[in-house]
Amino acid sequence: MSDAQLASELLDTARETALAAADVIHERYDAPRMVYEKKPGDLVTDTDRLAQDAALSVIRKRHPGHSILAEEDSSNHRMNDDGSWIIPDGVTWTVDPIDGTSNFTTGLPFICVAIGAAVDGKAVAGVIYDPLRDEMFTGAAGQPTQLNGVDLPLLAERELRLSLASMGWAWNSSGSTNLIHAVQVLARNCLTIRALGSAALSMAYLAAGRVGLYMNLGLKPWDVGAAVPMIEGVGGEFRSPDGSPWRLGQPAFLAGHPATLDEAIRVLS
């Protein structure tokens, strides 16, 4: 099987997986939420867990030999000494049944299901599905990035000062300190900054041209894996905040059009 055929097959599974998780979210959306604190400030609900069960059953049935890194199953969460996440070789799925869990707990309607597939550590297919607006963003190596089956155009080059940036708050305190400094610098140099509460959906918006730059200094593979192929598919890039190449598993990065990234990294350095 060629790389393109594999990416296409993984994208099909990602679509079905995202829809299975979304069915659970729809069924339970109006019911009272059971909210648990995994660790201080890190929430999960009963719906996250049930949506993840539905997602994993699709992947396991279709691809019993593949590895899975799912947010609500910590058995496979392992880190390297440098603080990056270990992505197993072969095909690894990244599964976030609800990205934007804090939003979900209060009914703030900005959430998504994020399903990605990586091959030997490189993200090659991903689906980000907003069940509340019925918007499905898809990306796969060698295929156009799409929104609800319609090709998205390549990202337009835009100066940083005219770019709407989006970012996420890193929950760990050392990360927050760095982030606040970076936010201060960015705020002076871009149009405005939004923290929408779902990293994956923010990055799907980047692929769709609704956001001009995304920054997060503490993200996990299941938050970002699905977004990589769709942003790369419209000519965007991911870079570490110091400008060096970024790879899946590293928590800190910026994403956007290469020219916007050049400018952002220059002002941050």
Q: Which one of the spans 1-9, 72-80, 152-160, 194-202 is the region binding ligand IPD (CB under 6 A)?
A: 194-202
Is 29 or 169 the residue whose CB approaches ligand IPD more closely?
169
HSE-up of residue 81 (Cα within 13 Å, Cβ side): 0
Using CB under 6 A, pick the residue from 116, 131, 197, 221 that binds ligand IPD: 197
Pairing of strands 67-70, 91-99: parallel
CB 169 within 8 Å of CB 176:
yes
Q: How many residues interact with ligand IPD (rule CB under 6 A)?
A: 15
29 binding partner (options Ca ion, ligand IPD, none; Cβ < 5 to 8 Å by kind): none
Q: Pick from 13, 52, 92, 198: which binds ligand IPD (CB under 6 A)? A: 198
Q: Tell me the site size for Ca ion, rule CB under 5 A.
A: 4
**Which residue in the set 101, 103, 146, 260 belongs to the binding site for Ca ion (CB under 5 A)?**
101
226: Cα separation from own chain's centroid: 5
- H/E segment holding residue 164: strand 164-167
User: Given candidates 59, 115, 199, 207, which one binds ligand IPD under the rule CB under 6 A?
Assistant: 199
Q: Is 99 in the site for ligand IPD (CB under 6 A)?
A: yes
Q: Which residues contact 173 (CB under 8 A, 6 or more apart)?
A: none
Q: What is d(CA 245, CA 117) in angstroms, rounded to the nearest whole number?
A: 20
Q: Which is nearer to Ca ion, 21 or 261 (CB)?
A: 21
- Say if CB 129 and CB 19 are below 8 A apart: yes
* Contact string (CB under 5 A) for Ca ion, positions 10-39, x = contact: ------------------------------
Residues 6+ positions from 225 with CB-CB distance below 8 Å = 69, 94, 114, 116, 117, 118, 123, 126, 248
Residues numbered 154-193 forming contacts with ligand IPD, rule: CB under 6 A:
168-169
Q: How far is the CB of 96 from ligand IPD (least distance, A)?
A: 5
Does 96 bind ligand IPD (CB under 6 A)? Our answer is yes
- Partners of residue 118 on adjacent β-strands: 92, 123
**Token representation of residue 163:** 């770019």
Residues at the contact surface with Ca ion, assessed by CB under 5 A: 71, 96, 98, 101
Query: Which residues here bind ligand IPD, judged by CB under 6 A?
Result: 71, 96, 99-102, 168-169, 197-199, 216, 218-219, 223
